[in-house]
A and B are shown apart, each in its own frame.
Chain A
Amino acid sequence: MSTGSRQGRVEMTHGGGGRAMARLVEELFVAAFDNDLLRRRDDQAQFAAPTGRMVMSTDSFVISPLFFPGGDIGSLAVHGTVNDVAMAGARPLYLSAAFILEEGFPLADLGRIVDSMAAASKEAGVPVVTGDTKVVERGKGDGVFITTAGVGMVPDGVEIGGDRARPGDAVLISGTIGDHGMTILSLRESLGFETGLRSDSAALHGLVADMVASVPGLRCLRDPTRGGLAATMNEIAGLSGVGMMLDEAAIPVRAEVRAACELLGLDPLHVANEGKLVAICPPENADRLLAAMRAHPLGAQAAIIGRVTDDPHHFVQMETAFGGRRIVDWLNGEQLPRIC
């Protein structure tokens, strides 16, 4: 591959539809994402549709900073959409990627992002089969914004949705909460402190496949991204018309995350994750599901963290480690913009 598209900066011509754009697409994007469907250079990807239920999801990524311990905007853009597709219990098949680049953005950085995205896509086994690039004037964007979309297939017999939780069901989490959000927060200059934290950004469809195979009666799956575990539990409680009772002592939180949250006055339950999922299943399947999760590297620290209750007010409550009870509410206002 020529190194010409990795030197200098993004110019308006890179989005102008002329030769500069064609060259950027060719040398950077097609070269990195290389696959049969992309190589056809059509304005769309054509593929045979399998029979059954398809799912589709899309997500935009505006994270700042673009690079962070544990990932970057590129890998995040792959993981985020793969996970949204996988939370239906689906097997993700294809991704699209659209880039909005700001004039002046270093092409070397764009190259790093695209390489990271290609590596994440390859590792996940979900190719980027179509894409788009636009350039906006300096000052009208912030380096790079990425939008990805994904399609996937739901295996027969799998029925997963946010409205399926029933009183008595068990609530599980796949690992420690708050790692991504606190990593990003700690990097923001104005906060001025350093930690050894890493984002948990990861593609969860492999873990989901193992879980679905082990407990086909799985009822709900969600990845607790913005708004954290608290938002996800409130979403499911509302959609299913139930309450929740969480056990604070059972929720895994890294000591560094707890310390950083304490310092900033944040609740780890409100902090974003990019490589964790919440699962709800009938109580009799809980131990089997937990074992399946723990057998997967991305679920090694999985835990049963609570149960679904019958509650006309749809409150998400928590037994505190201290011995009292409290509500786990939605995040009020905005914790910090541009977390994903």
Chain B
Amino acid sequence: MKYIDEYRDGALARKLAGAIAAEIQPGRRYNIMEFCGGHTHAIARFGIEDLLPPEVRLIHGPGCPVCVLPVGRIDDAMAIAARPGVILCTYADLMRVPASNRRSLQSAKADGADIRMVYSVEDALTVAAENPAAQVVFFAIGFETTTPPTALALVRAKAEGLANFSVFCNHVLTPSAMEAILAQPQDGPDPVHVDAFVGPAHVSMVIGTRPYETFARDHHRPVVIAGFEPLDVMQAVLMLVRQINDGRHQVENEYSRAVVPEGNRKAQALMEQVLERRDSFEWRGLGALPDSALKIRDSFADFDAERRFEVPARSVPDPKSCECAAILRGQRRPEECKLFGTACTPESPIGSCMVSSEGACAAHWTFGRFRERRRA
């Protein structure tokens, strides 16, 4: 556990907390968005907010793959799973994401659809090899972190002629979502002011630090790429507070033990070989964003579930009163949603942010809800 414990050390945390507090300029606010659900989870699980001065506000970003998937795409997956002879392989979290009409993959499974939970796309390939008579579809979601394994699986499926395997591709791109956050009108009813970003950990291992340069250069927002351990987050906050104080806006890399500026070239090449940008993709909360997601290239069309099966491909609005969209945009805190903790809990989620442990609502409900009661 050596390599984990040293990033969770309480004494070091107190030292960093002291350093952050010492940097705070009186009267100044520091609005920092942690883009990734991995950071959101760590912040809640380790109680990081208790170590930060009140001037620092952490805004949870849209970097939770389960959360940003719109209802329509879940409906599409349900339609695929409902076809006779199909085995749909999915991550466990997706099972509970609400689809239209209060249904979910979980309820479809109970009704008899063959839906199997897997840990990785590798597992789905195994299911395909073991069930040659079935059509096995992998429900692929995620940012750039999980994309290379999907691409690799497609290459393998093609090489091995695994004709009963296909991928329902929902991979999305981090920089597009960050761009969308900053593009929100600042004079609307719910302006989001983000002074700086804690940049993704695992995503950056794949794409490197360069794609964030535009946020520093063109949008004048400091970005610090940080690991998912709590000391990484604290260190990143300290670096961002210093940048804000200095009036600097640079891309800095706190996670240099894993992230290099150019990223993982091999993984990038693999993605490029198999996948290409979609003209537009609908995100929950952020709407339809151009160039924000990936689809399977024509050369791998045989393994594209969207071409192999007909899907409804309808845009479906979020459930009424659900504030997931505003929460994903950073406009609302989870506890400001009327449904939070009443109609919507991790046991019976109404919005996607209450499903994944990386979702802002689930993280706050599971680990942090005592803070509201204390304030009340």
Contacts and interface: CB of A to CB of B under 8 A. Distances in A.
A323 B368 contact: no
Interface stretch (B9-17, B60-68, B168-176, B298-306): B9-17
A322 interface: yes
A157 interface: no
A317 B45 CA distance: 11
Contact of B4 (A262, A313, A315, A317): A262
B366 A313 contact: no
Given A323-B47, A329-B366, A259 B1 contact: yes
Interface residues of A, number: 22
Contact of B373 (A313, A320, A332): A313
Contact of B13 (A315, A323, A329, A333): A323
Interface string B345-376: 01100000000010000100111111001000
Contacts of B13: 322-323
B51 A324 contact: yes
A35 to B, nearest CB: 45
A327 B1 contact: no
B350 to A, nearest CB: 15
A313 B47 contact: no
A323 B46 CA distance: 8
B366 A327 contact: yes
Interface in B300-355: 346-347
Interface string A310-322: 0001010101111
Contacts of A332: 346-347, 362, 366
A326 interface: yes
B367 A323 contact: no
Given A258-B1, A259-B1, A332-B346, A326 B96 contact: no
Nearest to B123: A190
A255 interface: yes
Contacts of B369: 315, 327
Contacts of B367: 326-327, 329
A239 interface: no
Nearest to A312: B373
B98 interface: no
A22 interface: no
Interface in B1-40: 1, 4, 8-10, 13-14, 17
Given A327-B368, A327-B369, A332-B346, A321 B10 contact: yes
A322 B46 CA distance: 6
Contact of B47 (A265, A325, A329, A333): A325
Contacts of A190: 119, 123
Contacts of A317: 370
Contacts of A319: 47
B88 interface: no
A320 B50 CA distance: 10
Interface string B106-148: 0000000000000100010000000000000000000000000
Nearest to B364: A327
A165 to B, nearest CB: 18
Contacts of A325: 47, 50, 370
A123 to B, nearest CB: 34
Nearest to B126: A190
Interface in A25-69: none
Given A249-B10, A313-B373, A326 B44 contact: yes
B291 interface: no
Contact of B46 (A258, A313, A324, A333): A324
B48 interface: yes
Given A329-B366, A332-B346, A323 B51 contact: yes
Nearest to B234: A322
B49 interface: yes
B227 interface: no
A259 B1 CA distance: 6
B202 to A, nearest CB: 13
Contacts of A313: 370, 373
Given A332-B346, A333-B96, A322 B370 contact: no
Contacts of A333: 96, 346-347
B366 A322 contact: no
Contacts of B1: 255, 258-259, 262
B222 interface: no
Nearest to A191: B119
Contacts of A255: 1
Contact of A315 (B44, B51, B119, B373): B373
B230 interface: yes
Contacts of B365: 329
Contacts of B347: 332-333
Nearest to B345: A332
Interface in A258-290: 258-259, 262, 265
B370 A323 contact: no
Contacts of B230: 322
Given A258-B1, A262-B4, A332-B347, A324 B370 contact: no
B47 A326 contact: yes
A178 to B, nearest CB: 14
B10 A322 contact: yes
A328 to B, nearest CB: 9
Given A262-B4, A322-B13, A324-B51, 12 more contacts: A258-B1, A262-B1, A315-B370, A320-B10, A322-B47, A323-B10, A323-B17, A325-B370, A326-B46, A327-B366, A329-B367, A333-B96
12 contacts: A259-B4, A313-B373, A322-B46, A322-B51, A324-B48, A324-B49, A324-B51, A325-B47, A326-B44, A327-B367, A329-B366, A332-B347
Interface of A: 190, 249, 255, 258-259, 262, 265, 313, 315, 317, 319-327, 329, 332-333
Q: Which 8 A-B pairs have the closest CB atoms?
A: A324-B47, A324-B50, A326-B367, A322-B46, A332-B346, A325-B47, A326-B47, A323-B13
Interface of B: 1, 4, 8-10, 13-14, 17, 44-51, 96, 119, 123, 230, 346-347, 357, 362, 365-370, 373
